[in-house]
């Protein structure tokens, strides 16, 4: 693909063989759609906010962009952060103990931590780990365009649409590929600060340059300034699996979500590259920047006491992913569903956290807890080393109790999730938040992991419901 001239979307669709009969649509969309216009007009393309959720110009959490700097992600727990916090020797010792615990659990067939649960976790990770390499620039164009009835050497102009049309198109495509919700953040001198300065995983710098094309060297990965739109999307996690937390089944829900996120990312890269634009990604684990932060700015949820994003529909049972593109897009607005306010009185996650990692303070704070936090947000900063130590005690996998305990996580039983009416009240006034918290008496975690294997779960372990 070489040309950079413009082409109307209708001509482009015709060239793709999608403008006429629906028979050739299979290469780009499901048989339900006959062309990209239909994709964009589909319900999946709409940003359908639940009726109690309000859009605003700012997120519900306060941000001081002047004090925020781009973060060195080697300070996160998975890279150097844990060793920095507890000392290298202790980190080594705890890592060794985690391995011993994990092995012992398998040999003793510990319910929830036995071989089959561990195998489920690594199976969940597979797609993500296999495709991490070359994630930044994408896999190229491995799928022949001939699979869509087009000669691969065709010199065609790139796709053109308005930013609003493009956002609708991208949302529809990402949802078809598996995303639960999709939003857009436009990069400027502030929002660029959510990108890390250094990718802690490979030690390379993330840099922005005034170049046409993204490129990478051994020392840096360069995003062109003109690639200024971040497509943010969520992947849901299985509620019944998280309900077994801290069993390894909860970790499996998380590892599967990472793989699904990578799968959507690869497809979006292929889709957007074929339209004639760049689509840059960070592969596994969001190594380019603060994905939940972008999710909050894009209005996919609100920040919470977990210091993670909570979706108004699925609570914290989502993982957030992102790609960066030069396809012009219309940004989506932050939302207010009353979640951050609810966190002030709720505190349930912090009460149940076995390692006291989460703040019990009523008010959020600007004070960070350590080098693993990036300042500039008035939030509930967590003691990440406490949490990571707990993961070590479990034999080296997630705990997840806080995610499962959150009242917004329960899709079926919780008072909050039975009644949209309750969520509307939470979104409107904090007056009844204390009462709603008291009514949520189910801890939400610790369900029998043996019984989980007998459940007849829907695909991916969750019921598909609409939402943002
Ligand atoms: S994962 Fe477990 S240890 Fe970590 S913050 Fe949540 S409840 Fe606490
Ligand atoms: S459990 Fe309560 S305090 Fe914690 S994140 Fe959920 S709503 Fe907020």
149-178 tens-digit pLDDT: 887 788 889 999 999 999 999 999 999 999
pLDDT at residue 7 in the model:
42
Residue from 81, 399, 406, 445 whose mutation best tests the ligand 1 pocket (most atoms within 8 A of CB): 399
116-125, 179-188, 418-427: which range is least confident on average? Answer: 418-427
pLDDT at residue 49 in the model:
86
pLDDT at residue 12 in the model:
36
pLDDT above 90 (res 285): no
Better pLDDT: 354 or 49 = 354
Tell me the pLDDT of the chain averaged across its residues.
87
Better pLDDT: 22 or 106 = 106
- Split at pLDDT 50, 70, 90, the class of 48 is confident
440 Cβ partners below 8 Å, 6+ apart? 348, 407, 410, 414, 415, 416
Better pLDDT: 448 or 428 = 448
Q: Which atom of ligand 2 is nearest to the CA of 339?
A: 7
pLDDT above 60 (res 20): no
Tokens 């790609």, residue located = 323
pLDDT at residue 139 in the model:
82
Cα of 310 vs centre of ligand 2, distance in Å, is 9
By alpha-carbon position, which residue is closest to atom 8 of ligand 1? 353
Residue from 354, 388, 397, 405 whose mutation best tests the ligand 1 pocket (most atoms within 8 A of CB): 354
pLDDT above 90 (res 115): yes
Q: Which atom of ligand 1 is nearest to the CA of 358?
A: 5
pLDDT above 60 (res 29): no
Cα of 453 vs centre of ligand 1, distance in Å, is 24
Residue from 76, 394, 400, 409 whose mutation best tests the ligand 1 pocket (most atoms within 8 A of CB): 400
The upper half-sphere exposure of residue 2, i.e. CA atoms within 13 Å in the direction of its Cβ, equals: 4
400 touches ligand 1 (CB under 6 Å): yes
314-373 tens-digit pLDDT: 999 999 999 999 999 999 999 999 999 999 999 999 999 999 999 999 999 999 999 999
Rounded Cα–Cα distance for residues 33 and 251 (Å): 36
Q: What are phi and psi of 342, to 5 degrees?
A: -60, -40
Q: Are 160 and 4 in contact (CB under 8 A)?
A: no
pLDDT above 60 (res 294): yes
- Identify which ligand lies nearest to the alpha carbon of 245: 1
């Amino acid at each position: 693909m070489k040309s950079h001239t413009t082409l109307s979307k209708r001509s482009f669709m015709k060239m793709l063989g999608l403008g006429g009969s629906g028979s050739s649509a299979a290469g780009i969309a499901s048989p339900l759609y006959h062309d990209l216009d239909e994709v964009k007009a589909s319900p999946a393309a709409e940003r359908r906010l639940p009726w109690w959720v309000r859009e605003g110009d700012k997120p519900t959490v306060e941000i001081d962009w002047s004090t925020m700097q781009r973060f060195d992600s080697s300070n996160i727990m998975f890279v150097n952060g844990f060793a920095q916090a507890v000392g290298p020797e202790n980190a080594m010792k705890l890592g060794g103990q985690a391995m011993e615990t994990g092995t012992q659990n398998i040999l003793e067939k510990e319910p929830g931590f036995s071989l089959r649960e561990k195998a489920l976790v690594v199976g969940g990770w597979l797609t993500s780990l296999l495709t991490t390499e070359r994630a930044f620039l994408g896999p190229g164009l491995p799928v022949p365009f001939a699979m869509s009835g087009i000669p691969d050497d065709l010199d065609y102009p790139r796709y053109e649409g308005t930013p609003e049309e493009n956002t609708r198109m991208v949302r529809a495509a990402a949802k078809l590929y598996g995303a639960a919700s999709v939003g857009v953040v436009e990069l400027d001198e502030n929002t660029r600060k959510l990108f890390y300065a250094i990718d802690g995983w490979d030690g390379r710098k993330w840099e922005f340059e005034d170049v046409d094309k993204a490129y990478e060297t051994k020392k840096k990965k360069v995003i062109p300034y003109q690639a200024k739109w971040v497509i943010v999307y969520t992947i849901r996690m299985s509620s019944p699996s998280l309900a077994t937390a801290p069993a390894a089944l909860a970790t499996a829900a998380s590892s599967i979500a990472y793989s699904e996120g990578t799968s959507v990312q690869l497809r979006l890269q292929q889709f957007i590259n074929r339209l004639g634009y760049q689509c840059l990604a960070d592969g596994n684990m969001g190594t380019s920047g603060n994905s939940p932060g972008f999710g909050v700015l894009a209005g996919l949820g609100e920040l919470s006491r977990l210091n993670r994003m909570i979706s108004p529909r699925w609570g914290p049972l989502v993982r957030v992913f992102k790609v960066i593109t030069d396809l012009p897009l219309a940004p989506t607005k932050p939302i207010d569903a009353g979640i951050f306010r609810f966190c002030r009185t709720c505190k349930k996650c912090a009460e149940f956290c076995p390692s006291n990692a989460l703040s019990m303070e009523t008010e959020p704070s600007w004070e960070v807890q350590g080098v693993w936090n990036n300042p500039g947000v008035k939030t509930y900063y967590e003691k990440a080393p406490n949490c990571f130590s707990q993961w070590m005690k479990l034999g080296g996998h997630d705990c997840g109790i806080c995610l499962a305990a959150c009242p917004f996580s329960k899709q079926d039983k919780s008072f909050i999730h039975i009644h949209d009416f309750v969520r509307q009240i939470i979104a409107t006034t904090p007056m009844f938040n204390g009462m709603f918290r008291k009514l949520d008496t189910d801890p939400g975690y610790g369900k029998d992991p043996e019984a989980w294997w007998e459940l007849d779960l829907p695909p991916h372990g969750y019921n598909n419901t609409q939402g943002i």
